[in-house]
Structure 1
Amino acid sequence: MSKIDIILVSYNTAEYTKRAIASVYEETKKTSFRIIMVDNDSKDNSVELIASEFPEVEIIQTGANLGFAGGVNVGTKASNSEYILLLNPDTVILEGAIDKLFEYALSTPKAGVWGGITLNNDLSLNPNNARARLSFKTLLFSALGLSKAFNKSCFFNHDNYGCWDRKSEREVDVVTGCFFLTPRHLWEDLQGLDETFFMYAEEADYCIRAIKKGYQPRVTPDAKIIHHGGVSETNLSGKMLKLLKGKAELINKHAKSWEKPIHKGLLQLHVLNKLLSLKLLSLFKKDKLETLKEWQTVYKQRNEWLKGYR
């Protein structure tokens, strides 16, 4: 039995998936692992390419797009390892990152969820490896644009731990699902990812539920990966609609009754302010017109995404 089963959900990302899997084999030398690729009914050559290039990878074809949570749960049902590692297809493992993350997990067992550092393709820091859970403070500062204006501040940008340079380990609320290690016993205790979340925020929900069980997710700077992000999404509005639905669903599930309308109001204010600022900016920069149209689409559908996935 392998120590880690790596669950990779693919959806029309053939070349990225190939690169991700190749990096796992090249960079993981100390930890026994198995890769399970769950294909969510890709229309490209994902299944054929991976089966040809990596015959040792177990491939499960769902026959439908189950979303990230649904695909991951299918994969974990076929696994039997001590630990489960969620890995996005648009990632590249660097410098033994899986070995280092596993060593860190063994040294900090009370965390329950472990993650590393994410980098852009040019190896510059991508600070989206971890974040704080949604709260009045994070939603307010985001809605007012303060988290962006003071992005290096841990007060105004607490959502993204703005003052943390990612050079030290620390406790976090949420480990991003692109590189997310958890023990099987906790996974089974929490019954995996909540499939209500089709895509985005499912890992936040898992981490929040783990914290309620007495665990505290952690991140190590020693385990680094490249994460491209959003390669299966073809347009901005499509991605934003899913992100906002996920956030609204987190509010539905974890906010107190009296907090829900306030938090959702701030979520809507964030989109409105983004739209208004783009309208102003597009008067001087015509290249912003397409982005403006995308955000107009998002705002027009606010009554839909504010419901979450319910």
Structure 2
Amino acid sequence: MTPTVSVLMVSYRTCELAIRALSALEKATAAAHEMVIVDNASGDGSAEAIAAAFPAATVEALPDNIGFGRAMNHGARHASGEWLLLVNPDTEPVGDVVGALLAYASAHPEHGIYTGRTLHPDGTDDLRSCLALPTLRQYVSFALGLSTLGRRVRWLGPLLNPEELPGYDRTTPRAVPAVSGCLMLIRRDLFTALGGFTPDYFMYSEDVDLCARAHALGAQPVLVPEAALRHLGGAASGGTSPRKIEMLLRGKCTYLRLRWSPGRAALGRALLAAGVGLRAGIAALLRRNSPWRPVWRARRAWLAGWPAP
């Protein structure tokens, strides 16, 4: 029997989380599905443990860690479902997230790409399941430190922190510019037409890139509020460590290199550097141990973006 949806997951040293997330998804949904898990060279027995826990699943153990998007592309090659559901291992479904997404997608197939709400452990929305496409306005706000203020002062969020779309009503279905790869349902034929994730990215911004290219093919990503996951966040990339911030910035700079004109991309990178320098400088003046200080010292590496594969 051909599954309706192929659940795709990439694991890197997140064995216990992956098994828990997949078990919860299986228990919560009645939809015909298959599971495809790609292990990014964890080297800790993760692939074997996941395969033992889910004998019917396809588990591919890669010899090297190739990052999120490239590993998802590997997983998609094993998928046979009409729909691909991308989900992170550090998540927990709230109800039947698979069924909720499939029900909306079946009724509104024209969107092509769907997400739900990703929640903090306390149940509040973490504002990370959907986001804006990059703009100079976003980067000016970051360079001046205003995005941090917009994150802390709720009513200023829509003006000063546009990247996270804090003014969006997440209680009703609505079109969004881009969705996170943490929770993404996409038609398999659309994923194939896009060539999957652009392989230039190791981690971060590959989902924004995919959505930007999907818009060009007529897709319109949409938020489905009935579908929700609790999201721990950063389990495979170091939480809010300097390493994770550098990876986020590398992803952003890769997007600028690939999707913006050279002059506009150079301005975008300069604004990102200014924002990091501002935060590092303030931390140094206050003698605070801030992750922005080592990120600033590493700016030459992340400003170059991810190296081409």
Q: Residue 176 of structure 1 is aligned with which of 165, 177, 180?
A: 180
> How many Å apart are 1:58 and its aligned residue?
1.4
- Name the residue aligned to 2:28: 27
- Name the residue aligned to 2:197: 193
> How many Å apart are 1:70 and its aligned residue?
1.4
- Name the residue aligned to 2:282: 277
> How many Å apart are 1:165 and its aligned residue?
4.4
Aligned-partner SS, 2:258: helix
Q: Residue 306 of structure 2 is aligned with which of 284, 301, 309?
A: 309
Matches within 5 A, 1:58-77: 58-77=58-77
State the alpha-carbon separation in 2 of the partners of residues 35 and 150 from structure 1: 39
State the alpha-carbon separation in 2 of the partners of residues 15 and 281 from structure 1: 40
Extract unaligned runs of 5+ from structure 2.
none
> How many Å apart are 1:135 and its aligned residue?
0.5
State the alpha-carbon separation in 1 of the partners of residues 170 and 148 from structure 2: 18
State the alpha-carbon separation in 2 of the partners of residues 143 and 20 from structure 1: 37
Aligned-partner SS, 1:150: helix
Alignment of 1:212 with 2:209, yes or no, is no
Query: Mean alpha-carbon deviation: is it higher for 199-208 or for 105-114?
Result: 105-114
- Name the residue aligned to 1:57: 57
Q: Is the 8 A contact 1:5 1:35 kept in 2?
A: yes
> How many Å apart are 1:59 and its aligned residue?
0.7
State the alpha-carbon separation in 2 of the partners of residues 19 and 165 from structure 1: 30
> How many Å apart are 1:148 and its aligned residue?
2.4
> How many Å apart are 1:96 and its aligned residue?
0.5
- Name the residue aligned to 1:297: 294
Aligned-partner SS, 1:85: strand
Q: Is the 8 A contact 1:193 1:203 kept in 2?
A: yes
CA RMSD of aligned residues (A): 1.5
Alignment of 1:164 with 2:179, yes or no, is no
> How many Å apart are 1:132 and its aligned residue?
0.3
**Residues 234 and 43 (structure 1 numbering): CA distance in 2 closer, same or farther, change over 3 Å?**
farther
Q: Residue 237 of structure 1 is aligned with which of 238, 242, 247?
A: 242
TM-score computed with the length of structure 1 as normaliser:
0.93
* Counterpart code for 2:107: S
Q: Is the 8 A contact 1:23 1:94 kept in 2?
A: no
Aligned-partner SS, 1:258: helix
State the alpha-carbon separation in 1 of the partners of residues 98 and 278 from structure 2: 40
> How many Å apart are 1:43 and its aligned residue?
2.3
State the alpha-carbon separation in 2 of the partners of residues 75 and 245 from structure 1: 24
> How many Å apart are 1:168 and its aligned residue?
2.2
**Percent sequence identity over matched residues?**
30
State the alpha-carbon separation in 2 of the partners of residues 157 and 245 from structure 1: 20
Aligned-partner SS, 2:262: coil
> How many Å apart are 1:281 and its aligned residue?
4.2
Alignment of 1:222 with 2:226, yes or no, is yes
- Name the residue aligned to 1:285: none
Matches within 5 A, 1:60-139: 60-139=60-139
Alignment of 1:253 with 2:250, yes or no, is no
* Counterpart code for 1:160: E
State the alpha-carbon separation in 1 of the partners of residues 167 and 48 from structure 2: 44
- Name the residue aligned to 1:144: 144
State the alpha-carbon separation in 2 of the partners of residues 274 and 26 from structure 1: 45
- Name the residue aligned to 1:18: 19
Q: Residue 270 of structure 2 is aligned with which of 256, 265, 283?
A: 265
> How many Å apart are 1:145 and its aligned residue?
2.1
How many residue pairs are counted as aligned between the two chains? 301
Aligned-partner SS, 1:81: coil
* Counterpart code for 2:220: Q
State the alpha-carbon separation in 2 of the partners of residues 82 and 234 from structure 1: 34
State the alpha-carbon separation in 2 of the partners of residues 55 and 240 from structure 1: 37
